[in-house]
Structure 1
Amino acid sequence: MAFANLGKDRVRSLPLNQIMVNPAQPRTRFEEDSLQQLAQSIAVNGLLQPVTVREAGPGKYQLVAGERRCRACLLLGHTHIPAIVKSCTMQESAVLALIENLQRQDLDVFDQAEGISRLIGYWGITQEEAASKLGLAQSTLANKLRLLRLPASVQELMRQNGLAERHGRALLKLPDEAAQLAAVKTICKKSMTVSQAEQYIETLLARQKMKKPTRLFICKDIRLFMNTIDKAVKTMADAGLAVQSVREDQGEFIELTIRIPKEPGQRPTAKPA
């Protein structure tokens, strides 16, 4: 994407009450402990990196990047914050916000995926176009989006335990939520690495395959089986065996007697009873 006039960035001291959050912000959680640590760092060292905003009307600005820094400054009672003012459109702002957060390792995999999904849905672009704008391989972007297929219960456990994207991709191999939830609980309890989790899930899949019940063929029409027997008797007779077959209807069942000589050309010594 070609961004308009981004070379005209300016640093200003802006009132915090004039800065609005970015609706395209991919980060959905702000841990209190982490914000307190950031606030302490700012109190000691100052704000080392200004936030980034765009103009959103007279006396109004919208965050592009830096919501955690704004929150930390508010905790310290600051009324103003250094900000780089970018001249960009809303779409450019959304892309910049997502890129800035994707480059941060503390953004969890589901916030990344949800941010990408919102970008695609809101702007009506394809996965290929989104990958190009974000500087990602299309397969990388597709793998991130696949994580959103995991149930909320599984996503929450992954978030709480800091599991990686590849943990989630391994869990997607399991057939349903119950299996995925049971597996992720075990993975978290045993603090499995990605490799260990992948091996564990492959073992689960192998067990399920072994336990898969054999499908039984049920026929409600006995004539199918009788026709099969008749064909077998005819085949033996056509091959030169003096086979004899007698069928008697006994009411609740059919009694069938077949005499087959052991040697070709040999005839039975007596008829079947």
Structure 2
Amino acid sequence: MSEDWRKLMNIEEIEYEQNELQQIPINKIRPNPFQPRQVFEPEKIAELMQSIKTYGLLQPVIVRSIASGYELVAGERRLRACQQLGWTQIPAVVKDVSESAMATMALIENLQRENLSFLEEAAGYERLLKEFKLTQEVLAQRLGKSQSTIANKLRLLKLPDSVKEKLLAHDLTERHARALLKLPDEEAQIKILQEVCNLGYTVKQTENRVAAYLKKLSPPPKERKKVIIRDVRIFLNTIRQAVSLLESGGLGPRLKEKDCGDYLEITICVPKNKKAVPQSEQQKKETKRAISQVIAPEAANN
């Protein structure tokens, strides 16, 4: 980050000479078009008004010159409080600030002085990226954050408006919102969000509820198909083929078949001392497959 950017980004420590301080008519100051805060709480403004009445305005607002007068760079809460106090002028410092810097300063001012909602913060990031063609990496450097932080915030904007409104209305956290992002559609998100609001789920309970919902959606594991062979001739042919392959390997097996009426008795005799003739790779594969069919015909056919 350049030194100029560092100075602009530290809202509380922007330096100015006393002769730079001007009394500017409030009606000549246009609001900052890049203000990320969407809601200004009346209670907070009232507290600030009381502070200004008691101690005065300790920090001037920052503006920049435009053709029609001035545009607010930083200090909207102070400006609003002074307006409501009936002030017609406000202490201000005029700075030569680009739109990009102005937008970033407005975002940082809100982050430093009073937390934005996580959705307002995400919307502020998105606007900076789009308006000024910034990359997430450049924006992260300017804000002093990691690129992954920016990316994670932006993902929250994928939630439907109905979900975002309900999250804010019930003062739920960013982690609640992240859990809802895992759900497949708006209907599911609204369903779970309603439960969260009604039952007061913690973040952990919300995550567990989402996981349970997703588990129900997962298809049950496919059952392994069992091959049932009812014709004994298939088994006999397989055994005969295996014996034939053993014979081709030089092991000299003998196959005996005896019909015992209700069942067929099969005996295979393989000489212990006879050396096998080396087999080719193809013969080895055929032998292995034939033997496996005899031992576990179901596995061999799957």
Shift of 1:81: 1.5
Aligned partners of 1:8 and 1:86 also within 8 Å: no
One of 122, 125, 139 as aligned partner of 1:130? 139
One of 38, 48, 53 as aligned partner of 2:48? 38
Q: Which residue of 1 aligns with 2:176?
A: 167
Report the Cα distance in structure 1 between the residues aligned to 2:236 and 2:21, rounded to whole angstroms.
101
Report whether the alignment pairs 1:11 with 2:21.
Answer: yes
Q: 1:203–1:17: structure 2 CA closer, same or farther, 3 Å change rule?
A: same
Report the Cα distance in structure 2 between the residues aligned to 1:25 and 1:124, rounded to whole angstroms.
18
Shift of 1:48: 3.2
CA root-mean-square deviation: 3.1
One of 106, 109, 121 as aligned partner of 1:97? 106
Q: Which residue of 2 aligns with 1:148?
A: 157
Q: 1:8–1:214: structure 2 CA closer, same or farther, 3 Å change rule?
A: closer
How many residue pairs end up in the alignment?
234
One of 88, 97, 109 as aligned partner of 1:79? 88
Q: Return the letter of the residue paired with 2:147.
A: Q
Report the Cα distance in structure 2 between the residues aligned to 1:50 and 1:188, rounded to whole angstroms.
42
- What whole-Å deviation, never above 9, does each CA across 1:82-111 have from its counterpart, x for those lacking one? 223222212111111112122244311111
Q: Which residue of 2 aligns with 1:178?
A: 187
Structure 2 alignment gaps of length 5 or more: 9-13, 241-261, 268-302
Report whether the alignment pairs 1:49 with 2:78.
Answer: no
Q: Return the letter of the residue paired with 2:104.
A: V
Report the Cα distance in structure 1 between the residues aligned to 2:51 and 2:15, rounded to whole angstroms.
30
Q: Return the letter of the residue paired with 1:17.
A: N
Report whether the alignment pairs 1:263 with 2:264.
Answer: yes
Shift of 1:135: 0.9
Report the Cα distance in structure 2 between the residues aligned to 1:26 and 1:14, rounded to whole angstroms.
24
Report the Cα distance in structure 1 between the residues aligned to 2:27 and 2:231, rounded to whole angstroms.
91
Report the Cα distance in structure 2 between the residues aligned to 1:29 and 1:64, rounded to whole angstroms.
18
Structure 1 alignment gaps of length 5 or more: 217-227, 242-260, 267-273
Q: Return the letter of the residue paired with 1:91.
A: S
Shift of 1:12: 2.3
- What whole-Å deviation, never above 9, does each CA across 1:95-139 have from its counterpart, x for those lacking one? 111121222443111111111001000111111111111111111
Q: Return the letter of the residue paired with 1:68.
A: R
Shift of 1:178: 1.1
Name the larger-Rg structure: 2
- What whole-Å deviation, never above 9, does each CA across 1:17-64 have from its counterpart, x for those lacking one? 11111111111222334333433343344333322222224x722111
One of 204, 207, 213 as aligned partner of 2:213? 204
One of 44, 59, 69 as aligned partner of 1:60? 69
Q: Which residue of 1 aligns with 2:237?
A: 238
Q: 1:195–1:86: structure 2 CA closer, same or farther, 3 Å change rule?
A: farther
Q: Which has the higher helix share?
A: 2
Task: Give TM-score scaled by structure 2 length.
Answer: 0.67
Shift of 1:151: 0.6
Q: Return the letter of the residue paired with 1:138.
A: Q
- What whole-Å deviation, never above 9, does each CA across 1:149-184 have from its counterpart, x for those lacking one? 011011001111222222211111111111111222
Give the fraction of aligned pairs with identical amino acids, expressed as a percent. Answer: 44
Shift of 1:142: 0.6
Greater mean deviation of Cα atoms: 99-108 or 159-168: 99-108
Q: Return the letter of the residue paired with 1:189.
A: N
Task: Give TM-score scaled by structure 1 length.
Answer: 0.74
